[in-house]
Structures are given as C-alpha cells and as structure tokens.
C-alpha cells in the first residue's frame, strides 16, 4: 500500500505486477512505465476518459481492468456476511449536518476523503 499524498511511486523506478488504484488518483497512462511486462492496472474509475489506456490494453501486453459491482441478491448477502464477521469495517472520516451539504461536497471533491 502506498500513500499517494506522501509518495509518487511512478517516479521510483520500481515496477509492479499489479497496480490497484482504489481511490482514482492516477491513470493507466501515468502508471504504464511502473507496470511489469504483462502487468495489470486495476481501477475503480470509469475508463471512458481513458480511451488511450483501453487501446493500449487491447494491443499491448499490459492490461487495464476496471469494474463496477453488480447489484444482485447474492452479492448483497455476501457483503452482509463479511460485515457481520467483522471483515469489512466502514471508514467515515467526517459527517456533516444537512445544512452543510455544499461544504461536504467541496470536501469530497478535494479527493482526500476516507470512506
């Protein structure tokens, strides 16, 4: 795990088998040189804005994988069981009253939220 606020791993010269961008703070293009041959860039971000990355992934040896959770009863039951077993814990770093919705939205847009 790398803290993107303290370190830019793309400048270290190190290469990785998998880069998982769980907070949408980078891009396939930026990480391409940090991936090993046949490496995988996994993101939760919608790749419509990453057209070049999709093309590179289709013709090159490095792969871009993106995903969205499918909403079905089995997945929801599985998620519920993980939460009940204590394997998933919600992280909420701030709460706002309804009157401060605009301020809460600005905080989220800064990209440093947790949870």
Q: What is the pLDDT of residues 54-88, one digit of tens each?
A: 666 676 777 766 666 666 788 778 878 888 998 87
Q: How confident is the model at residue 6 (pLDDT cuts 50, 70, 90)?
A: confident
The 10 Å Cβ neighbour count of residue 59 is 7
Which of 25-29, 67-71, 98-102 is predicted least confidently? 67-71
Residue 21: closest CA among 33, 4, 6, 38: 4
Identify whether the C-beta of residue 27 lies closer than 8 Å to the C-beta of residue 20.
no
| The predicted structure's pLDDT at residue 76 | 77
> Can you give the residue ranges of every domain in the chain?
9-66, 73-108
Provide the pairing of β-strand 63-66 with 16-21: unpaired
9-66 topology per CATH? Rossmann fold (3.40.50)
- pTM score, whole prediction: 0.52
Tell me the average pLDDT across 41-57: 66
């Amino acid at each position: 795990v790398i803290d993107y606020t303290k370190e830019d791993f793309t400048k270290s010269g190190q290469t990785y088998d998998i880069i998982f961008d769980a907070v949408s703070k980078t891009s396939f293009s930026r990480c391409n040189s940090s991936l090993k041959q046949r490496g995988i860039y996994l993101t939760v971000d919608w790749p419509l804005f990453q057209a070049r990355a999709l093309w590179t992934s289709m013709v090159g040896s490095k792969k871009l994988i993106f995903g969205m959770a499918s909403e079905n009863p089995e997945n929801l039951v599985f998620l519920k069981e993980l939460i009940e077993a204590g394997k998933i814990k919600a992280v909420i770093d701030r709460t706002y009253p309804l009157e401060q919705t605009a301020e809460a939205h600005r905080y989220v847009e800064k990209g440093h939220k947790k949870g």
